Structure 1
Amino acid sequence: MKKIKQKLNYFDFYLFVPYLLLCIIGIVMVYSASSINLSYAGMTTNFYLLRQMLYVFLGLICFFIASLMRLELLTSKKFIIYGFGILALLLVYAKFMTKAVNGANGWINFKIFSLQPSELCKLYLVIFVAQLLAYREQLALQNSLQTASRKPWLLVALLLLLILMEPDLGGFAINFMIVLVMYLASQATYKSLGRAFLLLGGFFASVVVVISGLRFWNPLAGTKYNYMYSRLTAFYNPFKVAASSGQQLINSYYAISNGGLFGLGLGNSIQKRGYLPEAYTDFIMAIISEELGVVGIAVILILISWLTLRIFLIGIRSKNNYQTLVCYGIGTFFAVETFFNLGAVTGLLPITGVTFPFVSYGGSSMLVLSITLGIAMNISMRQRRMRLVGRNH
């Protein structure tokens, strides 16, 4: 207990306060977005409220455990090996042993709660990839003739492939971007960075061309993956398929339009009354826009932006390369997930089912995000302790 109290002396409230505020906003808005439809269905209106409160409570516990634990535990061979084995088994089980939800086998239902293995992969890949890149740079600094093995990268590729096979395109994209940004951050030369960005630009250009061509030809017709093509159709012209796949995006537009600058007031959303499906999950920002307006959205974006930039700043200040890369991975996780969610809500990106960090309803997301933030807090507390020790000497 004495050591814990000593560690808490270096607590970073610049990380904790935005996190706590986002969780509180999430609890309020999950209740606002879900209660009316629950009452229509004859269920208790606080069903999702109580669950979200439980997820936040468990998330806080995970946050404090991660912020106080020894980081060396995350770099142990047992953690890496067992972590990979468990995640691979969970992904395979989700793919072949569960029923598809919205066309994807991405969830494992334990009755008490549902687990999404691709969420756990985000945390694991941040830790694993940071270790691989830090070891490679350590060998380079030592001018060692030994080269880092490329075999561990096959494990990274296998996890990404298993996520893609579910298929969970949103989860795959976020995990892929985490790995990519961490890899680019570890590159020391502008030449290698420029080459990487050119390759990335070419990749995205190719994806845009392929997706554009899919408007005129549906290769998934008659298959169980036809829902993916429907989402692309809704992305290009949601009003053309307003009665089916375009319904969610159209009602999101209506919600944003209704909200204006200051919103209709908390609890007064129209679109949550049976028009916008599952408004408390990945489209909760549309309801927030309708009830709290641009001002409410701006407050939330300021909080998540502050949190993300703070994590990147902690990484920049760190003198430990592994810790720097971990912070870059966590910051990328938060930034990309936020971008994907807002992109889907506003129609800038296809709908992928990605939730908004700490605000949308969801247990797996809340716990994983809280643990990753706890790791960033752990690194920040170490930095503060080192700075104070340095001043005293």
Structure 2
Amino acid sequence: MKNKLKEKLKYFDYGLFIPYLILCLIGIVMVYSASAINLTYVGVKATSYLFKQIIFVGIGITLTLIFSHMNPKFWVSKNVLRFGYWTVIILLMMAKFLFGAINGANGWITLGSFSIQPAEIAKLYLVVAISKAFSKREADIYLGKHKRTTTRKNLAVNILPILALIAIEPDTGGATICAAICLVLILANSKNWRASIGILGVAISIIALTVMAIHAINPFKGSKVEYMYKRFEGYFDPFTYATTSGKQLVNSFYAISNGGLFGVGLGNSIQKRGYLPEPYTDFILAIIAEELGFIGVLVVLGLLFFIILRIILIGIRSNNTFNTLVCYGVATFFTVESIFNIGAVNGLLPITGVTLPFISYGGSSMVVLSMALGMVMNISANEKRHTARNMFLNMELKK
């Protein structure tokens, strides 16, 4: 028992776990700072969201440790993948058709004071399912048992319903992140890197043209989702709509401007006092900028992108196709979510309601991101163990 514990600690990836832990602790502090004053305004305990976030982080850390030590074969068994697929489909349909809309989107299943966001679960499912499909295809092709086109057709049949259900919630940010995960994994598995770069460029161009077309035409006029167009109005000209659709972005600008280099001090934000709507969720980075300044933002983003770069490095070093693709998929998940949040706070991208990983308030995001990180830590430990074993065998052979 003692030897097993020593072995696990020996191969444990502290380079991923410690930055993750620091980000979670910063998130707890900032969620409390950003939410307390507004909760007191409406007669709710100032510590309400603090205690919930502590619970979310506790569950997240527990799941990270469990997934970092469990047998990876469990994730990719046919029964687990089949169960995961139907669970995602059923939860997305329940959120869309059985539960009320929150901020204009039917993306949540509300259970008392807690809620589940199925689109978050879908992101991790797509990473594992696509990685498994491509790694199995590679093995089958090597053995002469498989045609190259079959896997992509099967993936399209399974993936498109998930993307469609997320898109019609409507959850633009979630659908785009899921699509980005699919695209990156498909391109990573491609042998033609020039074609991959071309496809990626075309995808980015289509997204940019779509945003401009929506702003110019307003296809949502008079519909239930017209609020989506108002987000584009607030994005393109926030100060003209400073009291309506541009309110969040304008007050985010004020918060960032107030913070300067070192910030106004923890707890001293002005914009969180009723000016910036829901500052503890997707605009928490603006409060960090105001209270902790540019230095505080640099620390948070530095830790976050250190984790992402380390995940990519683990994927590059892996000799196993499944492990490599999982790392690339998780890195894409973290990167696109971070870019969407940072871009929205700074007015570089339209507001999509995407959270800042490990920092923003929310249980679904924290739990799924933690599980994803635990999988990568598991891959890292297995790679280290495999390298150590090979080194030992080489030394024995030299004797």
TM range (shorter): over 0.9
Q: CA RMSD in A?
A: 1.5
Between the aligned residues of both structures, percent identity stands at 50
Give the structure 2 partner of residue 64 of structure 1. Answer: 65
What is the CA–CA distance in structure 2 between the aligned matches of 1:89 and 1:107, rounded to whole Å?
A: 13
Give the structure 2 partner of residue 343 of structure 1. Answer: 343
Give the structure 1 partner of residue 244 of structure 2. Answer: 244
Matched, 1:313 2:316: no
Give the structure 2 partner of residue 188 of structure 1. Answer: 191
- Residues 142-153 of structure 1: matches in 2 within 5 Å? 142-144=143-145, 146-147=147-148, 148-149=150-151, 150-153=153-156
- Residues 1-150 of structure 1: matches in 2 within 5 Å? 3=4, 6-144=7-145, 146-147=147-148, 148-149=150-151, 150=153
Contact 1:4 1:68 in 2 (8 A): no
Deviation per CA, 1:246-272: give whole Å up to 9, x if none.
100000000001111111111111000
> Please, which runs of 5 or more residues in structure 2 have no aligned partner?
394-399
What is the CA–CA distance in structure 2 between the aligned matches of 1:334 and 1:63, rounded to whole Å?
A: 15
How far did 1:389 drift? 2.1
Residue identity matched to 1:120: I
What is the CA–CA distance in structure 2 between the aligned matches of 1:203 and 1:389, rounded to whole Å?
A: 43
- TM-score where L is the length of structure 2: 0.94
What is the CA–CA distance in structure 2 between the aligned matches of 1:61 and 1:181, rounded to whole Å?
A: 29
What is the CA–CA distance in structure 2 between the aligned matches of 1:288 and 1:258, rounded to whole Å?
A: 11
What is the aligned residue count?
390
Contact 2:109 2:116 in 1 (8 A): yes
Contact 2:130 2:155 in 1 (8 A): no
Residue identity matched to 2:111: F
Flag the 1:153–1:235 CA change in 2: closer, same or farther, 3 A: same
Q: Identify which of 179, 182, 198 aligns with 1:176.
A: 179
Deviation per CA, 1:350-375: give whole Å up to 9, x if none.
00000000000000000000000000
> Please, which runs of 5 or more residues in structure 1 have no aligned partner?
none
How far did 1:8 drift? 2.9
Give the structure 2 partner of residue 386 of structure 1. Answer: 386
Residue identity matched to 2:31: V
What is the CA–CA distance in structure 2 between the aligned matches of 1:92 and 1:326, rounded to whole Å?
A: 26
Question: In structure 2, the residue corresponding to 1:263 is in which secondary structure?
Answer: coil
- TM-score where L is the length of structure 1: 0.96
How far did 1:143 drift? 4.8
How far did 1:210 drift? 3.7
What is the CA–CA distance in structure 2 between the aligned matches of 1:202 and 1:308, rounded to whole Å?
A: 25
What is the CA–CA distance in structure 2 between the aligned matches of 1:313 and 1:240, rounded to whole Å?
A: 45
Deviation per CA, 1:99-148: give whole Å up to 9, x if none.
11111000000114200000000110000000111122223334556444
Deviation per CA, 1:134-193: give whole Å up to 9, x if none.
122223334556444422331111111111111100000111111111111111233xxx
Give the structure 2 partner of residue 271 of structure 1. Answer: 271
What is the CA–CA distance in structure 1 between the aligned matches of 2:145 and 2:43, rounded to whole Å?
A: 68
Question: In structure 1, the residue corresponding to 2:239 is in which secondary structure?
Answer: helix
What is the CA–CA distance in structure 1 between the aligned matches of 2:201 and 2:352, rounded to whole Å?
A: 21
Flag the 1:315–1:255 CA change in 2: closer, same or farther, 3 A: same
Residue identity matched to 1:166: E
Flag the 1:207–1:314 CA change in 2: closer, same or farther, 3 A: closer
What is the CA–CA distance in structure 2 between the aligned matches of 1:145 and 1:313, rounded to whole Å?
A: 30
Deviation per CA, 1:258-304: give whole Å up to 9, x if none.
11111111111100000000000000000000001110000011101
Question: In structure 1, the residue corresponding to 2:11 is in which secondary structure?
Answer: coil
